Amino acid sequence: MKTKALKYGRFACDTMMKRFPDAQLPPKGGFHYHAGVSLSGMYNIYSVCKDEKYLSYIKKWVDSIIIEDGIIQSFAKGSLDDYMAGILLFPLYERFHEEKYMTALRLFKGIIRNWLVNEKGGFWHKEYFPYQMWLDGLYMAGPLQMMFAEYFGEEYFYDNAVKQALLMYENMQDEKTGLLFHAWDDSKEVEWADKETGLSSEVWGRAIGWYVVATLDILELLPENHPQREKLISVEREMLSRISTYQDSESGMWYQVVGKEKEAGNWLETSCSCLFTYAMAKAVRMGILDEKYMECVERGFEGVISHSVTEKDGKFNLSGVCIGTGVGDFEYYINRPTTENDLHGMGAFVLMCAELAR
């Protein structure tokens, strides 16, 4: 499986590079997580195969947006989505020692340190979504905070990243599935929020995928003696164990809305299937899950390859990827359009391949 995973991961990266000259990667000119997740996957492929063309492409994209004095050309300060790509700057600084990367990271660090929070200390997902926590937000800012702690020696960021993960676990759980709802409004005022709990109504696949992936990234850098480490390991083990029970027995994939697989209109979704497969494989490698979960991993990987991957005119194509999505009810999620080669899916696919190639 290692050889096959690396082959597909490189094929996906090579095709992405052909489709989008570095500065053209969507959203063009934006320092955004769409590019961030796909390029973090590419960096993981680079870490496995050491082909310098991948690192060069990542650097050229970053340099097209971050100019010499460290100013970011296009950047929405009030949205967590626009910080995730910051994780790329750390390895670039280590390799190339360009001060503009550290200048940008210091800017991000100050903004995240003073981020708006709800009454329990949970990050607002966006400044114009007051009091709302979305699972997506842990992926956007959790791993970045861990790197702040590592590089700048500020232990606050270790504690706060763990705090965000545990707040979601403690306040966003679905009693039926044991998984986490997509979002929570502590003010209980937004239209999708339950008036008693503030919770949204569905377990959206990609959102819980972001959560379990981010939690592993946090654990990877969290000191062994951190007082909440064992608690967070327990949460991750519980989430992945529960997710495994919803894997489709025929395809090996997972559905757009997890826990409602038999309801009319629900469909197999590619990006969450990749994220779940990646997270299980990484959790086994880290000793969080038992080796038996590699059966789920193999079925997930082969399911995505057979169900969602095609080759056309020598190029890699990935189908069945839900486009960017807000918060809604069941009908909202199942009626979201799908697209080919959306960077949410490409990034998730390449992350999965890189982990399986290790």
How far apart CA 269 and CA 109 sit, in angstroms, is: 34
- The residue among 23, 60, 58, 25 whose CA lies nearest residue 44 is 58
- Among 14, 81, 82, 136, the active-site one is 136
> At 250, is the secondary structure helix, strand, or coil?
coil
How many beta carbons lie within 10 A of that of residue 178, not counting itself?
Answer: 15
185 is known as an active-site residue: no
Q: Which residues contact 151 (CB under 8 A, 6 or more apart)?
A: 90, 105
Amino acid at 248: D
Report CA dihedral (335, 338, 342, 345) to the nearest 10 degrees. Answer: 80
The CB density around residue 107, as the number of other CB atoms within 10 Å, is 16
β-bridge pairing 132-134 and 309-312: unpaired
Q: List the alpha helices (DSSP H) in the chain.
A: 2-19, 33-49, 52-65, 89-96, 99-113, 136-152, 156-171, 205-221, 229-244, 270-285, 294-308, 330-334, 343-357
Phi, psi for 63 (deg, rounded to 5): -70, -20
Bridge-based pairing of strands 315-318 and 309-312 is: antiparallel
Determine which helix (DSSP H) or strand (DSSP E) holds 268, and give its type and residue range: strand 268-269
Catalytic residues: 136
